[in-house]
């Protein structure tokens, strides 16, 4: 990495640590899994059409299960377009210190979710920032060294298939906080 990249990451981490300390109250935790969740926030990379369609189909499935779903897509470009059915940000919303900014990001981070899903098998600095500061009871995302970002992390190894990632989210979320009957 270049000296500039290292400086950007340093200031990013400093600002994130400052934001995490400044949170007025600790994040509320409650027992939740996908079937008991009422609200779900999904952050995803919307750059590729195939990935957009996969996440939109997944969100539609959650809505069919009577979940309130909020989406925030990230486009890896500076081109702006208003023709999407979901809130979105792009590279113009990433500042010098690699922090996501703008009203959509702020509203998404402040919205209270039962479950937050970072639906991207690849970890990214700006998505980790949103995840770490999200107001969610349970946060799910890709495997990262920054364990403060997620409560549940999914590691697909070298596979970066979004369908497999979301399947793993479903499997793990069904196994969390389940109620078992007493054995006789």
Beta carbons within 10 angstroms of residue 163's beta carbon: 13
Q: Tell me how far apart the alpha carbons of residues 115 and 37 are, in angstroms, rounded to a whole number.
A: 7
The region, left, alpha or beta by phi > 0 then psi within -120 to 50, assigned to residue 71 is beta
The structure's pTM equals 0.84
Residue 55 is classified by DSSP as H
Rg (CA), the chain: 17
Q: Is 18 helix (H, G, I), strand (E, B) or coil?
A: helix
SS3 percent helix, strand, coil of the chain, rounded to 5, is 40, 20, 40
Q: Is 141 helix (H, G, I), strand (E, B) or coil?
A: strand
Return the domain boundaries, the chain. Answer: 3-175
Among 138, 130, 142, CA closest to 113: 138
CA 157 to chain centroid, in Å, comes to: 19
List the chain pLDDT tens, one digit each, 184 residues: 687 777 777 766 777 677 767 765 555 566 677 788 899 999 999 999 999 999 999 999 999 999 999 999 999 988 777 788 899 999 999 998 888 999 999 999 999 999 999 998 888 899 999 999 998 989 999 998 888 889 889 988 887 899 999 999 998 888 775 555 544 5
pLDDT at 122: 85
**DSSP strand E in the chain: where?**
39-45, 68-75, 87-90, 112-119, 135-142, 152-154
pLDDT at 31: 67
pLDDT at 56: 96
3-state secondary structure 85-124: CCEEEEHHHECCCCCECCHHHHHHHHCEEEEEEEECCCCC
pLDDT at 93: 93
pLDDT at 27: 55
Q: Does domain 3-175 have CATH number 3.40.50?
A: yes
């Amino acid at each position: 990495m270049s000296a500039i990249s290292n400086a950007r990451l340093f200031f990013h981490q400093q600002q994130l640590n400052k934001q995490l300390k400044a949170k007025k109250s600790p994040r509320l935790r409650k027992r939740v899994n996908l079937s008991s969740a009422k609200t779900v926030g999904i952050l995803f990379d919307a750059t590729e059409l195939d990935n957009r369609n996969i996440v939109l189909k997944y969100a539609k499935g959650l809505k069919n299960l009577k979940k309130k779903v909020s989406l925030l897509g990230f486009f890896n470009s500076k081109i702006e377009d208003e023709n999407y059915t979901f809130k979105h940000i792009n590279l113009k919303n990433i500042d010098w210190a690699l922090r996501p900014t703008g009203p959509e990001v702020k509203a998404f981070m402040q919205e209270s979710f039962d479950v937050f899903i970072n639906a991207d098998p690849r970890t990214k600095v700006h998505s980790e920032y949103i995840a770490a500061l999200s107001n969610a009871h349970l946060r799910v995302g890709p495997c990262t060294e920054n364990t403060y970002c997620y409560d549940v992390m999914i590691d697909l190894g070298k596979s970066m298939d979004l369908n497999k990632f979301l399947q793993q989210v479903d499997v793990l979320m069904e196994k969390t906080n389940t109620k078992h009957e007493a054995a006789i």
